[in-house]
A and B are shown apart, each in its own frame.
Chain A
């Protein structure tokens, strides 16, 4: 249905990204990459770097394009739409967080590296399960293992963690710092993952570049980064709705297209409502997520809605498509797996909802920040 929020330049960013991906991404390609040793093509990564995708929203000071979070989110939306797996989302999330928490030029070397094509990934467990505690030579970490996308392929690993004493820390280490603590694990979707056991590890002092970051600032930096994932899920949901509608017109049973059966029509209409709701909230949150705006609650709401809607639409799409949608010959199987994996990467549903309750109902953040 009608989108009403994009400017002309943004529409152009979206169209360019879509055309680029359409040129080579289809189900066969996605299957090949998923089975390949690295999970993505370095040559495509180079091309995306040349297009400025991983630095579109970074300041010109480090070589970025000085764009906005919206520009970055439109690129992740198109990747989500194509079900395209690559280290881009993690790199963009890492860059977004570093840019937000940097005092002056704290992370300029890393950001400049990202502009130059370095892959980065972010360790910031959504359920705050890993804690840091100040020790003589740095910060000791404790907590259960976490899973991190694309760590094995990354050059930099960004950590944003709460400390026992006070505030949050920001740190950057090279990806080879973890040794046997990082173990490749299969992901349910086509992204790559490691299981990372940080318990007992000491982050050396020189790696920890930000300390005493307030919980509010850390939360907002992460919420902005997570909007990029929300946008990817919105793109995925949109593609699933469109494919399902196309299929309902093409597939005939009982002498008529599926789209003539009211039960199917109602499924499709519910999918439209789910995808539209997620998109509207994601766009609203992106609009409001200016640096320093502290619009954490609405950004978190957008992340929740995007995960919920993406899952809702893939479940119904599988029903509309029947058997064909479950085969590895159909791109729907990538969306199906990606929807759940991406939703789970936001952490536990109950924790997210209680957080939303705190932000939206108790603290009325969306109300204070906007209208009601």
Chain B
């Protein structure tokens, strides 16, 4: 069979590991703690960490050298993401992995020259503005309106679930420029600085402690030069970005399984011979198989990207597998622990370092974020099997 991971890839990984091992331990530990508490948005330490990686030339592994990247393949990029996820450190999230690559495919030369260098330097953090109070899965019904006024658009509306809205520098904003009944054919995509006049961000705190935001747009003026793609043709870029997004779910289930293994080791169950030990070993054995499958769904997507193809149904399968597995590990892991599992994270007595309980509370978004799993299943039926819509 074709060798996907050859000596070059392995030496790349060794080099990356040696680089990460050599970073300032204070930076790494504070970044990790911040990232575990709320991984969806790099804050004080995460920003510091990403700027350090950028300064050392480690952001944009698969970005072309003309945009300041290392010019390696998507396989190395996948290895990079897996390794950072394995250490629970941020890897540039949506800004580097979704917005950047989408801009490369759909942006104008001016837009690329303006944004890509600042993304790869770790300067910019994007938040994504798709969902609205009445436009969730049915994104094509969005109502935030952008009206052309000379060289500018004037935007009014409300966005919901803008994760990272309070730490972002820029907003990747979908707005209606055509008629409501034109649905996805009347949507345009814009970039606007988060501190533009007329933008108000209000926090939403979720059960797991992660923050997201509502964003209100009140006569926000965006230069027409900041529109991505043609007017009313923003949907293609949104679809492209979502496919990239669904490929960036990686190694966290392995990390969560290791938290459970730590607990089982302390309890003498990891290699015990009791009925409880056997029950745990059976459960963990199946999770461990599913973790390996998770690795391979992500690797398949990376291989397709490396071959110049965009995974669609494959990206959906990756996202479904990853989210359901993580949730299953957290949920059934707590079942194995029993009543002590009810001790909340933050307490030194919380079993498995509190990560399973925290993970379970965070887990609903894994199944609906980036497009609900039900919509992903429909995409597999359409794109993967050719079912009629």
Cβ-defined contact, B289 with A371, below 8 A:
no
Q: How far is the CA of A10 from the CA of B5 in the complex (A)?
A: 18
* B307 on interface, CB distance cutoff 8 Å: yes
Mark each residue of chain A from 227 to 256: 1 if its CB lies under 8 Å from any CB of chain B, else 0. 000000000000000000100110000001
Question: Who on chain B is nearest to A349 by CB?
Answer: B282
Q: How far is the CA of A300 from the CA of B2 in the complex (A)?
A: 21
Cβ-defined contact, A269 with B381, below 8 A:
yes
Q: How far is the CA of A265 from the CA of B380 in the complex (A)?
A: 9
Cβ-defined contact, B388 with A257, below 8 A:
yes
Q: Which of A167-175, A323-331, A356-364 contacts B (4 or more CB under 8 A)?
A: A356-364
Cβ-defined contact, A245 with B386, below 8 A:
yes
**Chain A hits for B314, CB < 8 A:** 1-2
**Chain A hits for B86, CB < 8 A:** 372
**Chain B hits for A5, CB < 8 A:** 1-2, 4
Cβ-defined contact, A269 with B271, below 8 A:
no
Question: Who on chain A is nearest to B377 by CB?
Answer: A269
Interface residues of B in 268-289 (CB under 8 A from A): 270-271, 278, 281-286, 288-289
User: Contacts A4-B304, A260-B388, A277-B293 hold; do A360 and B288 have CB atoms under 8 A apart?
Assistant: yes
Q: Which of B191-199, B225-233, B295-303 contacts A (4 or more CB under 8 A)?
A: B295-303
* B321 on interface, CB distance cutoff 8 Å: yes
User: Contacts A277-B297, A361-B261 hold; do A4 and B3 have CB atoms under 8 A apart?
Assistant: no
Q: Which of A50-58, A141-149, A283-291, A335-343 contacts B (4 or more CB under 8 A)?
A: A283-291
Q: How far is the CA of A249 from the CA of B13 in the complex (A)?
A: 45
**Chain B hits for A353, CB < 8 A:** 281-283, 285-286
Question: Who on chain B is nearest to A257 by CB?
Answer: B388
**Chain A hits for B374, CB < 8 A:** 262, 266
Cβ-defined contact, A269 with B380, below 8 A:
yes
* A221 on interface, CB distance cutoff 8 Å: no
* B378 on interface, CB distance cutoff 8 Å: yes
Interface residues of B in 231-250 (CB under 8 A from A): none
Cβ-defined contact, B288 with A301, below 8 A:
yes
**Chain A hits for B376, CB < 8 A:** 269
B382 CB → nearest A CB, Å: 8
* A151 on interface, CB distance cutoff 8 Å: no
Dominant secondary structure of chain A at its interface with chain B: helix
Q: Give the interface residue-count category, chain B.
A: 35 or more
A20 CB → nearest B CB, Å: 21
Q: How far is the CA of A238 from the CA of B152 in the complex (A)?
A: 53
Q: Give the interface residue-count category, chain A.
A: 35 or more
**Chain A hits for B307, CB < 8 A:** 4
Cβ-defined contact, A357 with B304, below 8 A:
no
A311 CB → nearest B CB, Å: 14
Number of A-B contacts (CB under 8 A): 152
Question: Who on chain A is nearest to B309 by CB?
Answer: A2
Interface residues of A in 68-93 (CB under 8 A from B): 70
**Chain B hits for A305, CB < 8 A:** 289, 293
Q: How far is the CA of A286 from the CA of B2 in the complex (A)?
A: 11
* B144 on interface, CB distance cutoff 8 Å: no
Interface residues of B in 322-349 (CB under 8 A from A): none
Q: Which of B5, B283, B320, B378 contacts A273 (CB 8 A)?
A: B320
Cβ-defined contact, B317 with A276, below 8 A:
yes
**Chain A hits for B377, CB < 8 A:** 265-266, 269-270
Cβ-defined contact, B1 with A10, below 8 A:
yes
User: Contacts A1-B317, A350-B278 hold; do A273 and B285 have CB atoms under 8 A apart?
Assistant: no
**Chain A hits for B278, CB < 8 A:** 350, 354
**Chain A hits for B320, CB < 8 A:** 273
Cβ-defined contact, B1 with A362, below 8 A:
no
User: Contacts A355-B285, A360-B292 hold; do A372 and B82 have CB atoms under 8 A apart?
Assistant: yes
Q: How far is the CA of A304 from the CA of B283 in the complex (A)?
A: 13
Cβ-defined contact, B281 with A354, below 8 A:
yes
Q: How far is the CA of A143 from the CA of B79 in the complex (A)?
A: 48
Q: How far is the CA of A298 from the CA of B292 in the complex (A)?
A: 8
* A344 on interface, CB distance cutoff 8 Å: no
Q: Which of A6, A265, A269, A281 contacts B289 (CB 8 A)?
A: A281
* A100 on interface, CB distance cutoff 8 Å: no
Shortest Cβ-Cβ A-B pairs, 4 listed: A353-B285, A357-B285, A360-B288, A356-B285
Interface, chain A (partner B; CB < 8 A): 1-2, 4-7, 10, 70, 245, 248-249, 256-257, 259-260, 262, 265-266, 268-270, 272-273, 276-277, 280-281, 283-284, 286-287, 298, 301, 304-305, 349-350, 352-358, 360-362, 366, 370-372
